[in-house]
């Protein structure tokens, strides 16, 4: 029977979830869903000084907002400390690891001495054969005995053959003097306990892989497959940071980006699938493969991300967008429950292609809810000809007699009105647009009137004419 694929995302709650972390989580998620496997979430919270509840809450909230749902229960490293210590002590009893009481000062002195002789700088194995026991000193660590000359090479699922020699690795620490595990030891213990079959992560972890392979072998565990994604760079080809426009997931959320757009952009940032640029999450799952992941670093582009967001606003239905738009409407003082689903769906259609973010969409929807309070002189001068006030007033009188304020009927009504008077439709539409929206730029005038409704349209026209 074929082994079920299990992958994991393992953030540390020492800060907010950023672009690089999201892409790692996304690739793991897509691979698991594509292969019918499981996507697990582990919180690596053994850094007591830097881990915070606020960061953890932000990470979990971001994962849920993105729709990267995980399988099973959350795993916390901080709840497994006894397991790490027990396993490390077992390695000591089996001669695979040992206690070390070397102080930092002693290690620094010996390191400088080795450097002066041009020798590989690492732990010199001073305590390897001393046979120290637990409690022999107040400050002790547990170190792994790394077999000198052991081949720790492996075949990376993305990069192919990667060679490592154990001569380049010293007897590294498994358990620190404070009783907490080191990163590499905890990761191996956890990945085995969780049944992880594929460890997919950023290429900054390649250097950790030989140490982890050595730990797997010492514990007698089967080694999973390893795959490392290339890093994401800024436009200047340096490591991605906030100055390149990359920020936390929560900030993208608050700035009006759709989660589907963020996932779409990040999936393509290091993975190729022909010339197709736009994907829904479901389409990404169907198309994703590790073979398509690029080895070369990807360059982050805020402009491209904004374009993808605009395209998702254009292609997604109102029902898909509505839950994410709601907080932006409420922030503007708009009650989403004050209009029907059909009304909002129509309003969204008028703005497709005109807005790039949900923040911008909520801003553009304002004139559907709040009448203009003032009209800029330059707009009045641009839209209003000498005959315009009289024309607008006459058309308002004609609208008084209209019962059907549907889009189609309004189009037919205005066309007939202008043809009867031999008018260019723009000569009526522009001053009317200014009257009801306060601007010379808006979606189609018939859409605007239909969305405002008869009473609101006429009230705005009268208020405008009274101000002229």
Distance (Å, rounded) from C-alpha 427 to C-alpha 377? 18
d(CA 20, CA 269) in angstroms, rounded, equals: 10
Q: How many CA atoms lie within 13 A of 187 on its CB side?
A: 25
What gap in Å lies between CA 437 and CA 439, rounded to an integer? 5
- Number of Cβ within 10 Å of residue 135's Cβ equals 8
From the list 21, 46, 32, 56, the residue with the least C-alpha distance to 195 is 32
Name the residue among 220, 195, 247 with its Cα closest to residue 7. 195
Contacts for 94 with CB less than 8 Å, ≥ 6 apart: none
What is the Rg, in whole angstroms, of the alpha carbon atoms belonging to the chain?
A: 32
Q: Map tokens 């920020």 to a residue.
A: 247
Question: Kindly report the CA angle at 357 between 352 and 362, in degrees rounded to 5?
Answer: 80
Catalytic residue, from 4, 133, 134, 242: name it. Answer: 242
Tokens for 32, please give them: 């698991």
Query: H or E element: which one contains 193?
Result: helix 183-193
237 is catalytic: no
CA dist., res. 341 & res. 319, Å (int): 8
**Which residues are designated catalytic?**
242
């Amino acid at each position: 029977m074929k082994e079920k694929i299990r992958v994991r995302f393992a953030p540390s709650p020492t800060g907010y979830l950023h672009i690089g972390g999201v892409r790692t989580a996304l690739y793991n998620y897509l691979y698991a869903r594509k292969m019918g496997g499981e996507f697990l979430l582990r919180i690596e919270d053994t850094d007591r000084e830097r881990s915070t509840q606020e960061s953890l809450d932000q990470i979990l909230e971001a994962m849920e907002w993105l729709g990267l749902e995980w399988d099973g229960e959350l795993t916390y490293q901080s709840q497994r400390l006894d397991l790490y210590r027990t396993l490390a002590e077992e390695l000591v009893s089996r001669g695979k690891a040992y206690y070390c009481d070397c102080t930092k000062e002693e290690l620094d002195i010996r390191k400088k001495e080795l450097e002066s002789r041009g020798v590989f700088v690492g732990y010199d194995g001073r305590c390897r054969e001393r046979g120290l026991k637990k409690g022999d000193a107040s400050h002790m660590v547990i170190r792994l005995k790394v077999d000198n000359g052991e081949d720790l090479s492996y075949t990376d699922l993305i990069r192919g053959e990667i060679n490592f020699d154990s001569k380049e690795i010293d007897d590294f620490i498994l358990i620190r003097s404070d009783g907490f595990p080191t990163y590499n030891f905890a990761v191996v213990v956890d990945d085995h306990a969780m049944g992880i079959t594929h460890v997919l992560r950023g290429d900054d972890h390649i250097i950790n892989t030989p140490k982890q392979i050595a730990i797997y072998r010492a514990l007698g565990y089967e080694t999973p497959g390893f795959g490392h994604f290339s890093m994401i760079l800024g436009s200047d080809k340096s490591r991605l940071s906030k100055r390149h426009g990359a920020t936390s997931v929560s900030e993208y959320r608050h700035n009006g980006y759709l989660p589907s757009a963020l996932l779409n952009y990040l999936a393509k940032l290091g993975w190729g699938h022909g010339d197709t640029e736009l994907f829904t999450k479901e389409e990404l799952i169907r198309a994703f493969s590790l073979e398509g992941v690029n080895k070369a670093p990807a360059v982050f582009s805020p402009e491209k991300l904004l374009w993808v967001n605009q395209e998702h606003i254009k292609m997604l239905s109102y029902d898909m967008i509505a839950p994410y738009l709601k907080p932006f409407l409420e922030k503007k003082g708009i009650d989403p429950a004050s209009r029907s689903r059909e009304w909002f769906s129509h309003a969204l259609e008028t703005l497709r292609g005109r807005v790039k973010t949900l923040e911008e969409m909520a801003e553009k929807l304002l004139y559907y809810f709040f009448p203009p309070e003032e009209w800029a002189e330059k707009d009045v001068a641009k839209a209003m000809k000498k005959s315009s006030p009289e024309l607008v007033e006459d058309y308002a009188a004609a609208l008084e007699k209209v019962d059907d304020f549907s889009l189609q009927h309004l189009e037919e009504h205005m066309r007939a009105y202008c043809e009867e008077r031999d008018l260019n439709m723009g000569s009526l539409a522009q001053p009317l647009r200014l009257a009801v929206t306060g601007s010379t730029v808006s979606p189609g005038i018939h859409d605007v009137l239909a969305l405002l409704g008869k009473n609101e349209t006429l009230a705005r026209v009268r208020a405008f004419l009274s101000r002229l």
